[in-house]
Amino acid sequence: MMLIRYLSQIGRYFLMLKEIFNKQTKWSVMRNLIFKEIDDLIIDSLGIVCFISFFVGGVVAIQTALNLTNPLIPKYLIGFATRQSVILEFAPTFISVIMAGKMGSFITSSIGTMRVTEQIDALEVMGVNSLNYLVFPKIIALLLYPFVIGISMFLGIFGGWLAGVYGGFTTSVEFINGAQMEFIPFHIVYAFIKTLIFAMLLATIPSFHGYYMKGGALEVGKASTVSFVWTSVCIILFNYILTQLLLGS
């Protein structure tokens, strides 16, 4: 019974994706909606992303340094480990899970409140494709999400350099040499491919839970929690699949 319910929800999700791109809202209205979503979802997220990235990068560098107990192991590995950790996993995946909480809860609660207050029904009565009106601007706004992750990568490595050098664990030259050592440009491409797919999940899964919720204010809170859980699960699952596909071969 539970399996049938999950399959039904997955089917409804893909039908929602199809409906988002039908009967487009006119551009003069859509443009303003997109700028509003960029402000709400991207600009408002920069502060928390910068803060977390900087300090987690520092923690990665310090923990790497503290585990290099053998004096024969070169100190430049601190820079190497920080770069690899931040670019491959921390920035694209860990930040996306955090954004599932911040962005996802905001999206679900805002659309869910519109459902509860019958604003979505009013849009439908006026002949507006409510899914296109509400969800499409979020998808377009989150095309800028790789820009946020790029800042996260830079600040993570910078935080690692600051913690490593001023914590007395390594020198600036050693850290930078480690950060540049055996650099594979495809790792950046891999991180941004993951980021774009995570952005699609961040825009659509919370929207799905908000749009199809039923009940009152209490159910809005429950829908926000459920959307965070499922967005996080999908991000982790797709992270595994994409890592296997792009790096496993």
Q: Tell me what the mean pLDDT of segment 99-123 comes to.
A: 86
Q: Tell me what the mean pLDDT of segment 226-244 comes to.
A: 91
- Residue 182 pLDDT: 82
Residue 49's alpha-carbon distances to 21, 29, 230, in angstroms, are: 30, 30, 21
Which one, of 143, 20, 28, 145, lies nearest residue 95 by Cα? 145
Which one, of 152, 157, 154, lies nearest residue 82 by Cα? 157
Q: Determine, yes or no, domain membership for 4.
A: no
Mean pLDDT of the chain: 87
Asked if residue 192 lies in contact with residue 89, where contact means CB atoms within 8 angstroms, the answer is no
Q: Determine, yes or no, domain membership for 11.
A: no
pLDDT band at 75; cut points 50, 70, 90: confident
pLDDT band at 219; cut points 50, 70, 90: confident
pLDDT of 170 above 90: no
pLDDT band at 28; cut points 50, 70, 90: confident
Q: Determine, yes or no, domain membership for 177.
A: yes
Asked if residue 32 lies in contact with residue 144, where contact means CB atoms within 8 angstroms, the answer is no
Alpha-carbon torsion (199, 201, 204, 205), positive or negative: negative
Overall domain count for the chain: 1
Across 88-92, 127-131, 153-157, the highest mean pLDDT is recorded for 153-157
Distance, in Å, from the CA atom of 116 to the CA atom of 144, rounded to the nearest integer, reads 30
| Structural domain span for residue 130 | 26-248
Phi first, then psi, for residue 71 (nearest 5°) are -65, -15
Q: Determine, yes or no, domain membership for 9.
A: no
**Three-class DSSP labels, 107-166:** HHHHHHHHHHCCHHHHHHHCCCCHHHHHHHHHHHHHHHHHHHHHHHHHHHHHHHHHHHHH
How is residue 213 annotated by DSSP? -
Encoded tokens for 200: 């699609």
Query: What is the pTM for the complete model shown?
Result: 0.88
Distance, in Å, from the CA atom of 203 to the CA atom of 104, rounded to the nearest integer, reads 8
pLDDT of 216 above 80: no
Determine which of 185-194, 198-207, 240-249 has the lowest per-residue pLDDT on average. 240-249
How close are the terminal C-alpha atoms of the chain, in Å? Answer: 38
Asked if residue 160 lies in contact with residue 175, where contact means CB atoms within 8 angstroms, the answer is yes
Q: Determine, yes or no, domain membership for 10.
A: no
Q: Determine, yes or no, domain membership for 12.
A: no
Q: Determine, yes or no, domain membership for 6.
A: no
Determine which of 43-52, 188-197, 215-224, 226-235 has the lowest per-residue pLDDT on average. 215-224
- Residue 40 pLDDT: 87
- Residue 249 pLDDT: 59
CB 216: neighbour CB atoms within 10 A? 10
Q: Determine, yes or no, domain membership for 212.
A: yes
Which one, of 228, 223, 230, lies nearest residue 209 by Cα? 223
Share of the chain above pLDDT 70, in %: 100
HSE-up (13 A, CA, CB side) for residue 147: 10
